[in-house]
A and B are shown apart, each in its own frame.
Chain A
Amino acid sequence: MTRRTMIEAIRDAMAVMMERDEDVVVFGEDVGYFGGVFRCTQGLQARFGASRCFDAPISELGIVGAAIGMASYGLRPCVEVQFADYMYPAYDQIVSEAARLRYRSNGEFTAPIVVRMPTGGGIFGGQTHSQSPEALFTHVSGLKTVVPSNPYDAKGLLIAAIEDPDPVIFLEPKRLYNGPFDGHHDRPVTPWAKHEGGEVPDGHYTVPLGKAAIRREGSAVTVLAYGTIVHVAEAAAAETGIDAEIIDLRTLLPLDMETIEASVRKTGRCVIAHEATLTSGFGAELAALVQEACFYHLETPIVRVAGWDTPYPHAQEWAYFPGPERVGRALRAAMEG
């Protein structure tokens, strides 16, 4: 067991897999010699050589397209898109190619790739370093989408993603790289070393895709969240004194409906929180599923709290971000009905 930041945990997951499986290759913009702008691949080139970890030209389409080609050969590419905001040039390769290759060739060819990308705001990155595009992936048949909320999960989920036979989009909440962030941006950063999620075993282990985790047991209201907002929801529950049951989805697709359903049946209330824009966000899908599965158990309408439907602004970052105050209001709304 070692204390690790989320960056170190992610790096360790790749190192473990590169060590175990020589088919695993890692590339992306600045990931080779330098080790990535967030340093997630630091040391991998020195350890595994430049043909297993290398810099790519600035072409996200090229990175994902090449990864698909390598995967169809039999490799296990785990590639980095420098920011989720820059995945759009790769979108065609992800949607029309990676996601459908197995289906359209009836398994003749497959694309077991992992596309890692930092996601979310909270770093004054403006509209091109803050986006949360998860719903653009969950909407596509044939992709798995993962969003870890702590170093332990990040490592276990990334190993599971690399071992998975299908393409996995791995969204890393960048505001969580160096510590759990509960939305109180004016307070000093807590390091992962002081959080149980920062306890990361050495070597190989997995956190299975498609399994949620209950971060806080409670009886009053179920909160469905993932990534940074899991920590925000914990703060909101503590600050409002509402006995919320907080579910960290971890994998958006496939989704752990069993855990969700059991919780909402128990609490009879549901708040769905994410940082991405509200309209057609993943919360809309969750709301539909919850009402289908738990309609007769719901005592109040499902409440969604999310980023506003605007581009992510620079100066107004904290007015945009759904922090503990806003999530707290959503909890109260769910209690009051």
Chain B
Amino acid sequence: MTATAPLSLHVPEPAVRPGGTPNFGEIEIPQAGTVRRPDVDVAAADIRDLAYTIIRVMDGEDRAVGPWAGTLTDEECLAGLRDMMKLRAFDGRMLMAQRQGKTSFYMQHLGEEAVSTAFRRALEPGDMNFPTYRQAGLLIAGGYPMVDMMSQIYSNENDPLLGRQLPVMYASKEYGFFSISGNLATQYIQAVGWAMASAIRNDTRIAAGWIGDGSTAESDFHAALVFASTYRAPVVLNIVNNQWAISTFQGIARGGSSTFAARGHGFGIPALRVDGNDYLAVHAVAKWAVERARRNLGPTLVEYVTYRAGAHSTSDDPSAYRPKTEFDAWPLGDPITRLKGYLIGRGAWSEERHKQGEAEILDEVVTAQREAESHGTLHAGGKPSPRDMFEGVFAEMPPHLRRQRQQAGY
């Protein structure tokens, strides 16, 4: 017998729970501008340190500093600010619509608006995203019509998906937005497959996979990394670490590793960690990773450090598992406030213009909402026909389904 104490199970716990004082002391945040920017053809082994730091561009004085700064003009930053404001306004209206019973369900992006909107602006037409439910910014920044997004949320007669899908599970090939399944992580490996196809066909298009911190625990994530690594697929593999997976803190998925980005190391995939609430940093890192993919240098794993400021979904109440004031203590701030401050500092924007911009955007969103609602909402007005329910299971409807459709009376 060895003389050791009996074993005991280790179950990670977050630093604080409701009633406690929010504390993000564990997250080490380097000064903006201090992390180097390697060449895109760097070897994974030479940038292992970049998986343990946080690339940041905007400093505390609203300036863009360091080697990752300078990928965007003021005009482009203003467009980015508008994208984020639009996404936030869109979320606000749709949350309210859900509360009013106009739809069954909604998922918002509060606090995470920079990630998908800035990433979208680093892509080229034809590139394909395999998003999760929390990347509607890809559509907003890509110019997809809000009326169609809302119609999908309302499952109305104008819904491009004919009422079949849960709200926010959009799909649009034209806008580089793969159909969201709802089953977590399944699409990460599909992004790799799409990218491999582009390589097989000697195309120039690249793919982006998206996953949340919690979902990296699924085997699909690991399958994606091994395929991306083996075939050097032209894909950007994004991990949105918003600290929470419903009620489960990120430590449960991350385990003993100190970061999610470090997961790339065992696969020899260059891995970066970036301030997800810094629009300029997200864009710069996305551009770097996209360029690597486009130049056939292979995959990049990017972890965006951000915070899910709102509830997981309209079915969730986070006050049951985390302090209500946690977002106030979040050290990386709010992405809109930060980009706004930067642009004001540059003299390209002002408080008054911001207020005016907010009003204009709200107006645009409300106008879109009015139009979408003229096509119906989940329980009122125009709806897709139950006939549509039987279409699209197969390219051609087999006899048994035709029979069932008749039985159903459609």
A residues near B (Cβ < 8 Å) are: 29-30, 32-34, 37, 50-51, 54-62, 85-86, 88-89, 124-129, 278-279, 308-311, 313-316, 319-320
With both beta carbons as reference points, the residue of chain A lying nearest to B315 in the complex is identified as: A37
Residues in B with CB closer than 8 Å to A124 are: 104-105, 166, 378
Cα–Cα distance between A125 and B164 once the two chains are bound (Å): 11
* A315 interface neighbour in B184, B320, B383, B404, Cβ under 8 Å: B383
Cα–Cα distance between A127 and B162 once the two chains are bound (Å): 13
With both beta carbons as reference points, the residue of chain B lying nearest to A306 in the complex is identified as: B404
A313 touching B246, Cβ below 8 Å = no
Cα–Cα distance between A80 and B246 once the two chains are bound (Å): 15
A30 touching B247, Cβ below 8 Å = yes
B165 touching A126, Cβ below 8 Å = yes
* A319 interface neighbour in B162, B165, B408, Cβ under 8 Å: B408
Cα–Cα distance between A313 and B410 once the two chains are bound (Å): 15
When A59-B217, A128-B183, A310-B390 are in contact, do A37 and B246 touch as well, CB less than 8 Å? Answer: yes
* A50 interface neighbour in B13, B182, B219, Cβ under 8 Å: B13
CB contact list, B97-112 vs A, under 8 A: 104-105
B5: interface (CB < 8 Å)? no
When A30-B246, A37-B246, A315-B384 are in contact, do A58 and B217 touch as well, CB less than 8 Å? Answer: yes
When A34-B247, A34-B320 are in contact, do A279 and B183 touch as well, CB less than 8 Å? Answer: no
B209: interface (CB < 8 Å)? no
A308 touching B408, Cβ below 8 Å = yes
A30 touching B166, Cβ below 8 Å = no
B169: interface (CB < 8 Å)? yes
Q: What 0/1 pattern do residues 315 to 336 of B give for CB contact below 8 A with A?
A: 1100011000000000000000
Residues in A with CB closer than 8 Å to B320 are: 34
Cα–Cα distance between A316 and B387 once the two chains are bound (Å): 9
**Nearest Cβ on chain B to A75's Cβ, whole angstroms:** 11
With both beta carbons as reference points, the residue of chain B lying nearest to A52 in the complex is identified as: B9
A128 touching B11, Cβ below 8 Å = no
Cα–Cα distance between A37 and B312 once the two chains are bound (Å): 11
Cα–Cα distance between A129 and B166 once the two chains are bound (Å): 9
Residues in A with CB closer than 8 Å to B410 are: 319
With both beta carbons as reference points, the residue of chain A lying nearest to B157 in the complex is identified as: A315
- CB-defined A-B contacts under 8 Å, sample of 16: A33-B13, A34-B247, A34-B320, A37-B316, A58-B184, A58-B218, A60-B218, A61-B218, A86-B184, A89-B219, A124-B104, A128-B166, A313-B163, A314-B163, A314-B165, A315-B378
Question: Which 5 A-B residue pairs are closest in the complex by CB-CB distance?
Answer: A315-B163, A126-B166, A128-B182, A57-B217, A34-B247
Residues in B with CB closer than 8 Å to A62 are: 217
Known: A34-B246, A127-B166, A128-B181. 16 other contacts (CB 8 A): A33-B17, A33-B321, A34-B320, A57-B214, A58-B253, A59-B219, A89-B220, A124-B104, A126-B164, A128-B183, A310-B390, A314-B155, A314-B164, A315-B164, A316-B163, A316-B384
A310 touching B13, Cβ below 8 Å = no
With both beta carbons as reference points, the residue of chain B lying nearest to A54 in the complex is identified as: B11
Cα–Cα distance between A315 and B159 once the two chains are bound (Å): 10
B217 touching A309, Cβ below 8 Å = no
- Which of A56, A62, A126 has most B Cβ within 10 Å? A126
**Nearest Cβ on chain B to A233's Cβ, whole angstroms:** 18
B residues near A (Cβ < 8 Å) are: 8-9, 11, 13, 17, 104-105, 155, 159, 162-167, 169, 181-185, 214-215, 217-220, 245-248, 252-253, 255, 315-316, 320-321, 378, 383-384, 386, 388-390, 393, 400-401, 404, 408, 410
**Nearest Cβ on chain B to A95's Cβ, whole angstroms:** 16
Cα–Cα distance between A320 and B214 once the two chains are bound (Å): 32
**Nearest Cβ on chain A to B195's Cβ, whole angstroms:** 23
Cα–Cα distance between A313 and B218 once the two chains are bound (Å): 26
- Which of B184, B255, B401, B408 has most A Cβ within 10 Å? B184
* A57 interface neighbour in B9, B104, B253, B386, Cβ under 8 Å: B253
Residues in A with CB closer than 8 Å to B163 are: 313-316
Residues in A with CB closer than 8 Å to B11 are: 32, 50-51, 54-55
Cα–Cα distance between A297 and B164 once the two chains are bound (Å): 42
B165 touching A85, Cβ below 8 Å = no
Cα–Cα distance between A124 and B105 once the two chains are bound (Å): 8
* B393 interface neighbour in A58, A60, A311, Cβ under 8 Å: A311
Residues in B with CB closer than 8 Å to A33 are: 13, 17, 247, 321
Cα–Cα distance between A320 and B393 once the two chains are bound (Å): 14
**Nearest Cβ on chain B to A214's Cβ, whole angstroms:** 29
* B246 interface neighbour in A29, A89, A128, Cβ under 8 Å: A29
Cα–Cα distance between A125 and B103 once the two chains are bound (Å): 11
B166 touching A29, Cβ below 8 Å = no
Residues in A with CB closer than 8 Å to B167 are: 314
Cα–Cα distance between A89 and B183 once the two chains are bound (Å): 10
Residues in A with CB closer than 8 Å to B184 are: 58, 86
Residues in A with CB closer than 8 Å to B384 are: 315-316
Residues in B with CB closer than 8 Å to A319 are: 386, 389, 408, 410
A126 touching B182, Cβ below 8 Å = yes
Cα–Cα distance between A125 and B215 once the two chains are bound (Å): 20
